[in-house]
């Protein structure tokens, strides 16, 4: 790679920082420019709903690199600079202030944005979404004051922010329209486990319940109204109803968009010299024979080096098993794998669910397609991934039996 080349990464995110790191590690000598609308240098988002929100982690701990790393590695940071147009014909990225950055290759790492709840009152003061470090700090200041917090949505962000608010002493209510929290990710049985975890901590978990309105007084939130007319008093409301990939640049540039920027296994779009990685990318997984968009931290960390190598002309394929983790109260969870909503025919549990120390496995055709562990750190997630990647048929009875080593079932 010659020093005349310029690689631009749009979105100064974890994906961007890890891509830049790999480019320099692998000897790329050209310009590397990271463009980000936020004024913060690249940071990691999981602490925003976990340790940082709880006040257990310092601000410096969330950043991907020390501030000096970028200058030391000749990586240009254009922070507080929003990209508004991708001109694939001219090979340029246009910024909001009119500056145009010429690129040899460009990586879209624009991430995702919280899905807005479009109901009356959601613009009141005291209504929170969680995506940025500023969002986390404002929410942390709010829940430190105590009071009544209503969390709308029982997904990962909703449950983690509910746990943080409860641990700060707030009275917490979770409102979830499905029959269980995390139903789309884990199903009723495992979602029900997490509902019980929160109930045991004194959280009011309201399932099969919708929200119709947020009410306030003098411009500030005071209550949430549910579908049956119940009014839940609230000093703060947290809305966690999912995210949407930030595909505007790609769509306006004529790139294929389908719940994310469509890329192949090498994270390449159909346009020459344009790549996408992280939350925004819907990449082709050879393992599953289809495109998937994975929104979690591990995907950013794992896909970034592949993007860097692909941009440098290597023939690579991103096919890592999807992974995510969550921390709620005394429950630590790691999940690995993927399945379609109707893509499994059995769930096998091993261990003690009541003691919050167990593993669960999703099976299709007798093979493990996904699994999780709760507080089983001696095993962790590695044997689960080996069962998935090995593709070996397993006996459900042995899988449920803690006396049978998972390594033996995986064929190690």
Tell me the backbone φ, ψ of residue 333, rounded to 5 degrees. -135, 140
d(CA 288, CA 281): 16
How many other C-beta atoms are found inside a 10 Å radius of the C-beta of residue 203?
23
pLDDT at 264: 96
Helix, strand counts (H, E) of the chain: 11, 26
Q: Are 402 and 350 in contact (CB under 8 A)?
A: yes
pLDDT for the residue numbered 408: 87
Per DSSP bridges, beta strands 6-10 and 31-36 are: parallel
| pTM more than 0.85 | yes
How far are the Cα atoms of 32, 312, 359 from residue 7, in angstroms, in the given order? 5, 10, 43
Structure tokens at 89: 């014909």
The span from the CA of 336 to the CA of 309, in Å, is: 25
DSSP 8-state class, residue 365: T
For residues 232 and 223, the answer to whether their CB atoms sit within 8 Å is: yes
C-beta neighbour count of 135 within 10 angstroms: 17
Which two three-digit tokens encode residue 130? 């969680």
Query: Which residue has 């789309």 as its token pair?
Result: 184
Q: What is the 3-state secondary structure (H, E, C) of 106-160?
A: EEECCCEEECCCCCCCCCCECEECCCCHHHHHHHHHHHHCCCEEEEECCCHHHHH
Q: How many CB atoms lie within 10 A of CB 268?
A: 20
Predicted pLDDT at 342: 77
Structure tokens at 111: 């991430």
pLDDT value at position 3? 65
pLDDT (tens digit, 0 to 9) for every residue of the chain, 412 residues total? Answer: 556 899 999 999 999 999 999 999 999 999 999 999 999 999 999 999 999 999 999 999 999 999 999 999 999 999 999 999 999 999 999 999 999 999 999 999 999 999 999 999 999 999 999 999 999 999 999 999 999 999 999 999 999 999 999 999 999 999 999 999 999 889 899 999 999 999 999 999 999 999 999 999 999 999 999 999 999 999 999 999 999 999 999 999 999 999 999 999 999 999 999 999 999 999 999 888 899 999 999 999 999 999 999 999 999 999 999 999 999 999 999 999 998 777 889 999 999 999 999 999 999 999 999 999 999 998 889 999 999 999 889 999 999 999 999 988 887 6
pLDDT of residue 158: 97
């Amino acid at each position: 790679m010659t020093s005349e080349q310029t690689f631009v990464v749009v979105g100064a995110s974890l994906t961007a920082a890890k891509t830049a790191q790999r480019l320099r590690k692998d000897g790329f000598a050209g310009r590397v420019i990271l463009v980000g609308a936020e004024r913060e240098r690249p940071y990691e988002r999981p602490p925003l709903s976990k340790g940082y929100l709880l006040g257990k982690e310092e601000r410096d701990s969330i950043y991907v690199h020390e501030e000096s790393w970028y200058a030391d590695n000749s990586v240009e940071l254009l922070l507080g600079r929003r990209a508004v147009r991708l001109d694939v014909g001219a090979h340029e990225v246009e910024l909001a202030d009119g500056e145009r950055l010429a690129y040899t290759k460009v990586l879209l790492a624009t991430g995702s944005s919280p899905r807005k709840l479009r109901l009356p009152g959601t613009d009141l003061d005291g209504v929170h979404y969680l995506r940025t470090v500023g969002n986390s700090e404002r929410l942390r200041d709010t829940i430190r004051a105590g009071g009544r917090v209503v969390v709308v949505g029982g997904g990962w962000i909703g449950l983690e922010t509910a746990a943080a608010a409860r641990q700060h002493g707030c009275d917490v209510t979770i409102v979830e329209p499905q029959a269980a929290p995390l139903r789309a990710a884990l199903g009723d049985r495992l979602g029900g486990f997490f509902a019980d975890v929160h109930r045991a901590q004194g959280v009011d978990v309201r399932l099969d319940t919708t929200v119709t309105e947020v009410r306030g007084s003098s411009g500030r939130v005071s209550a949430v109204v549910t579908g049956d007319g119940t009014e839940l008093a609230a000093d703060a409301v947290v809305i966690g109803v999912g995210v949407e990939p930030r595909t505007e640049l790609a769509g306006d540039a004529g790139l294929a968009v389908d719940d994310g920027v469509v890329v192949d296994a090498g994270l390449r779009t159909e346009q020459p010299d344009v790549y996408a990685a992280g939350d925004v990318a819907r990449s082709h997984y050879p393992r599953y024979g289809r495109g998937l968009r994975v929104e979690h931290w591990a995907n950013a960390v794992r896909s970034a080096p592949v993007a860097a190598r692909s941009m440098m002309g290597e023939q690579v394929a991103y096919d890592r098993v999807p992974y995510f983790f969550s921390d709620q109260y005394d429950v630590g969870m790691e999940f690995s794998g993927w399945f379609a909503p109707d893509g499994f025919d059995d769930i096998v549990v091993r261990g003690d669910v009541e003691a919050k120390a167990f593993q669960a496995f999703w099976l299709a055709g007798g093979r493990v397609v996904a699994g999780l562990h709760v507080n089983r750190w001696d095993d962790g997630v590695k044997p689960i991934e080996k069962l998935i990647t090995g593709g070996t048929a397993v006996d459900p009875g042995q899988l449920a039996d803690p006396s049978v080593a998972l390594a033996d079932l995986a064929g190690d």
